[in-house]
Structure 1
Amino acid sequence: MTPHIFPKMPVALLLLVSSALTIMAGTLVGPSLPALNLQFDNLELVSLLLTLPSLAVVLTAPFVGTLTHKLGLKPLFLIGLLGYGVAGSTGLWLDSLPLLLVGRFVLGMSIAIIMTLSSTLVSNLSSGRGREKLIAYQSVAMNMGGVIFVGVGGYLADMHWRLPFSVYLLALLVLMAAVVVIPTSEKPAQKAKVVVTKQQWLEVMPIYMAGFVMMVLFYMIPVMYPFVVTEMLDARPTQIGMSLALFSFVSGAASMLVPRLGRRFNEYQIIAIAALSFTVGHGLISVAASWLGMAIGGCIIGVGFGLLVPALNKGVAACSTPESRPQLMGGFVTAFFLGQFTSPLASNLFITSGAQSAFMVGSFIAFTLAVLLLVLPQVARFMRYRGSVNEY
């Protein structure tokens, strides 16, 4: 029987704060973009300040596992926090847009390290129901961090465009705490070669693919939802921001359901439930003609996302060993952010007649994914059964 282990509270809190930092990093400076454009007069490059970190995560995360084996988990985690604090805060003192873009790319590399290794530490330092609870808390922290930090970023941007960059310095406080509370013995594969078996890759690939598709669909909310409510309801920016904050809050609350659902359903079934939530939520937004309909649709999507992230995390953890976990978690982070980076392009391709129509296409894709997640494991189980019968 798997023991139920939950890490000591200081360690758990540090991992939750680290996870919150990764989600808010890209969007924190969003409210400063208009002022940044006035400062540098280059809308194309200024817009990259928002998207470049995600690209850097996609390019960096696959190599975090290898770096972990060479440097050790704790040293690399500390490097990630240092890079996050220094590179993220470059807007406080740099006056060169190209150098700011370099800083944003280094920030993305640091996010890849922190997100991969915080998830690895969550799985390595816990087990059983303790792991389920910690993964759920991690998802809550990520969602609540997004709500809080985006609000703080908007407040600071009203005073000066440089001030939101100061929030990244929080990582340096987390760094000092991590030096003390992260166990120095937590280097499970430092002296070993990267060991990921073919079976582990086969088990984790469906999780990666489901995560990528679901992230493309989820990021239709920040990408397309503002256009839909503006087009349909003439929404103001404040109303849009409050709606997005509500969806994140609902998502965080839904994450707490995962430990209980995990006692009755496996990871694939929970991801399928999340996909069905996306099916309903996207479908409602595609036909809604009022704020109530739009809000209900967005909240249902939020519920699905709240179930999705812990289930994906738990699935990768279940497929991995302490030795292979950094590399497999790196693959998960790559799929996660690749979906986020791809979503704007995919969303435009989904449009058939107005921004609202993209959500109908998204609803169909989510339903197809849910069916596949529910049916394919049964087919695989049947094929294994037939194979075992034929042996006799």
Structure 2
Amino acid sequence: MTGIDHRAVIWAAGACGVMSGAAIAPAIPAIDLALSGAVGGGFWGRLALVLPAIVIMGLGPWIGRRTAGLDQRRGFAAALCALAGFGVLGGLATSHGWLLASRIGLGVSTAAVLCFATAALATLFRGPERAQVIDRQSAINTLGGVVFVLAGGVLAQLGWRVPFLLYLLALPVAWQAARMAWPAPTALPDKRPDLAAIRAPIVTLGVAMTAFYLVPVQAPFMPALSGFPSLAGLTIASATLIGGLVSWNSGGLRQAASDRVVEAGGLALLLLGLLEFGLGTSVPALLLAAGMIGAGFGALLPLTVQRILAQCGPDTAHAAAGLIASALYAGQVGASALAFGFGIGGPRLPFLIAAAGLGLGLFLWVNRQQLGPWRHWIVEHMA
């Protein structure tokens, strides 16, 4: 059994990964005003916010395979230091070009941190212990998003550059990571997990994150919330808090019901929550919708990560970690694309489009045996 210090470092490193967007989100309008004079969070500020997620989505699998052959102690610590360095560098920007370049570096270093931390879950822990550590990490990461957004909002009152100092929190984590023993390099960098065995949980993970991330991206624009920032914050906090609590107690859910039942219940809650967000007209209705989405995400996040890692050995853990990071941040990018692309049709439309897509996907999966010539394609790509 590994010591609690390993768990603490893994949890803290995962929380540092959440900072990539959360730390500066409240300061985006002020950043645009300072760097280009565009008031209200223009295109470049929004791009700077989502750019690390785009980098992680695209490069996560490749970075995961590269980190497999590195010295884990030095690589883990170096990635955390790079996260801190690139994060703070953005606060020194004098142009959007400088800021975007620093955000690309932040995305690469964040992906590496997440790959080291997630792969350590597969190599250091087994059985119920691994499940418990993943449950706790899922809850800490979910709740950490709220903490960093709130902290960034408070610091933004002192100036738009000040929230970037939050990235320095990665340095004490790097110090602890450098003082500990980690697994030796595990494999050749081209070693990959069995994609057929993990495709379904990878897709589920991306879908769950898309639904969950739509809440902070789009909820403030809902008619019942748009004129009341405190109510919008309460709605977002409700989804996050409930998601974190469900993840924290995920082990109890799996003891009470099978993994399939938990997965089906989580997807059903996501679907109902998206529909309620798209159709609800009152604050209580939107709070209920946020709670359902948070509960569904909180149930699915640790379950899917465990299912993926259960199919991987030490030689493929890093590659699988890169796929997990890519799926999570693809969900963030997907939610942002839905909000920006369909929000022009009204604030409810992104939720209804997401619900329609999720509902269609579930229908095709449930009825895959009756779809004639399409059956083999669906089974091959969704099994």
TM range (shorter): 0.7 to 0.9
Structure 1 residues 158 and 215, CA gap change in structure 2 (3 angstroms):
same
Counterpart code for 1:251: G
CA deviations 1:257-305 (Å, max 9, x no partner) are 3212334555554332211111121122222221111101101100111
Displacement, 1:81? 0.3
Displacement, 1:372? 5.8
- The residue number in structure 1 matching 2:3 is 8
Structure 1 residues 97 and 345, CA gap change in structure 2 (3 angstroms):
closer
Given candidates 143, 168, 186, the residue that maps to 1:189 is 186
Displacement, 1:111? 1.1
- The residue number in structure 2 matching 1:388 is none
Q: Does the 8 A contact of 1:286 with 1:357 survive in 2?
A: yes
Structure 1 residues 373 and 134, CA gap change in structure 2 (3 angstroms):
farther
CA deviations 1:59-92 (Å, max 9, x no partner) are 3211123212332333322221011000001134
Correspondence list, 1:1-392, <5 A: 5=1, 7-41=2-36, 43-181=42-180, 183-184=181-182, 186-190=183-187, 192=188, 194-196=190-192, 200-228=194-222, 231-263=223-255, 265=257, 267-347=259-339, 354-370=346-362
Percent identity over the alignment is: 24
Q: Does the 8 A contact of 1:58 with 1:337 survive in 2?
A: yes
Q: Does the 8 A contact of 2:53 with 2:330 survive in 1?
A: yes
Could you say what the CA RMSD is over the residues aligned between the two structures, in angstroms?
A: 2.5
Displacement, 1:333? 1.2
Q: Does the 8 A contact of 1:272 with 1:374 survive in 2?
A: no
Q: Is 234-243 or 156-165 further displaced after alignment?
A: 234-243
Displacement, 1:233? 4.7
Structure 1 residues 270 and 352, CA gap change in structure 2 (3 angstroms):
farther
Q: Is 32-41 or 125-134 further displaced after alignment?
A: 32-41
Q: Does the 8 A contact of 1:351 with 1:357 survive in 2?
A: yes
Q: Does the 8 A contact of 2:66 with 2:189 survive in 1?
A: no
Structure 1 residues 37 and 125, CA gap change in structure 2 (3 angstroms):
same
Structure 1 residues 233 and 81, CA gap change in structure 2 (3 angstroms):
closer
Q: Does the 8 A contact of 2:225 with 2:232 survive in 1?
A: no
CA distance in 1, matches of 2:221, 2:257: 36
**TM-score, length of structure 1 as denominator length:** 0.86
Q: Does the 8 A contact of 1:268 with 1:374 survive in 2?
A: no
Aligned pair count?
367
| Structure 2: runs of 5+ lacking an equivalent | 376-383
Structure 1 residues 156 and 195, CA gap change in structure 2 (3 angstroms):
same
Structure 1 residues 100 and 360, CA gap change in structure 2 (3 angstroms):
closer
